[in-house]
C-alpha cells in the first residue's frame, strides 16, 4: 500500500466516528496497543522533548525501506504516533521525503501538530523526514 492509500484508509476509518469522544477513545486504544520502543533505543539522541509530552523516535533501514519505531509518555500522543508509523513506516526514503501528510488534518487532529501544542509530534514528523534524508544519502 502506498503512503497515500494508507492515509485514505485512516481517513475512511475515522469518518465513522461521529463524536470526538469516540475518536479519542480509539486513539487511546491505538496508543495502548502501540509496540513499545526497544528500551535500548530510549536514549537522549532519540528523544524529542516537547513541553507537554516526550516522544522517542528510532529508525532502521531494512531492504531499502525505512522502519520507524516510536513511543511517548502520553497515550493520546502514542495513538497519533501509531497512525504516523502506520502511514510512514516501511517505505523508501524517496517515498517518505515526497509524502505530504494530509490525513492528520482530515481526521480533525491538526491541532496536535501545531507548534503551540509542544507535544513533540510536529518535531517527530520533521525527524521522520530527516531520517529518510539520512538513509537516502547513505545509499
Partner 1 sequence: MDTTLDIAAIRADFPILSRTVYDRPLVYFDNAATSQKPRCVVEAIEKVYYNQNANIHRGVHYLSQVATEAHEEARQTVQAFINAAESREIIFTRGTTEAINLVATSFGETFCNEGDEILITGMEHHANIVPWQLLRDRKGIVLKVVPFNERGELDMEAFSQLLSPKTKLVSVAHISNVMGTVNPVAKIIAEAHAYNIPVLVDGAQAVSHMPVDVQALDADFYVFSGHKMYGPNGIGVLYGKEKWLEQLPPYHGGGEMIATVTYEKTTYAELPFKFEAGTPDYVGSVALAEAIRYMQKFGLKAIGDYEHQLLQYATEQLMKIDGMRIFGTAAEKASVISFLVRDIHHFDMGTLLDKLGIAVRTGHHCAMPLMHTLGIEGTIRASFAFYNTKEEIDALVAAVDRVQKMF
Is 51 a catalytic site residue?
yes
Question: What is the number of H-type helices and E-type strands within the chain?
Answer: 6, 3
Is 33 or 52 the residue whose CB approaches partner 1 more closely?
A: 52
Output the smallest distance, CB 41 to partner 1, in A.
20
Give the three-state DSSP class for 57: strand
Q: Which of 43, 51, 60, 133 is catalytic?
A: 51
In the shown chain, the binding pattern of residues 71 to 110 toward partner 1, with x for contact by CB under 8 A and - for none, equals --xxxxx---------------------------------
The count of C-alpha atoms lying within 13 angstroms of the C-alpha of 132, restricted to the half-sphere facing its C-beta, is: 19
Give the sheet arrangement for strand 47-49, strand by strand. Answer: 47-49, 54-62, 65-72
Question: Of residues 40-59, which lie at the interface with partner 1 (CB under 8 A)?
Answer: 51-54
Minimum separation from the CB atom of position 8 to partner 1 (A): 26
Among 1, 25, 47, 60, which residue interacts with partner 1 (rule: CB under 8 A)?
Answer: 25
CB of 20 to partner 1, least distance (A): 6
Cα 67 to Cα 60: distance, rounded to the nearest angstrom: 5
Nearest partner of 104 among 120, 126, 125, judged by Cα: 125
User: What is the contact surface with partner 1 in residues (CB under 8 A)?
Assistant: 20-21, 24-25, 28, 51-54, 73-77, 119
Amino acid at each position: 500500500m502506498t503512503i497515500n492509500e494508507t492515509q485514505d484508509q485512516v481517513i475512511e476509518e475515522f469518518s465513522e466516528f461521529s463524536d470526538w469522544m469516540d475518536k479519542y477513545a480509539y486513539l487511546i486504544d491505538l496508543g495502548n496497543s502501540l509496540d513499545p520502543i526497544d528500551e535500548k533505543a530510549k536514549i537522549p539522541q532519540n528523544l524529542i522533548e516537547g513541553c507537554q509530552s516526550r516522544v522517542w523516535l528510532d529508525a532502521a533501514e531494512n531492504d531499502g525501506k525505512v522502519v520507524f519505531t516510536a513511543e511517548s509518555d502520553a497515550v493520546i500522543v502514542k495513538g497519533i504516533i501509531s497512525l504516523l508509523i502506520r502511514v510512514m513506516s516501511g517505505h523508501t526514503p524517496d517515498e517518505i521525503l515526497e509524502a505530504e501528510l494530509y490525513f492528520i488534518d482530515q481526521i480533525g487532529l491538526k491541532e496536535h501538530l501545531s507548534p503551540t501544542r509542544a507535544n513533540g509530534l510536529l518535531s517527530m514528523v520533521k525527524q521522520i523526514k530527516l531520517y529518510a534524508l539520512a538513509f537516502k544519502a547513505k545509499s
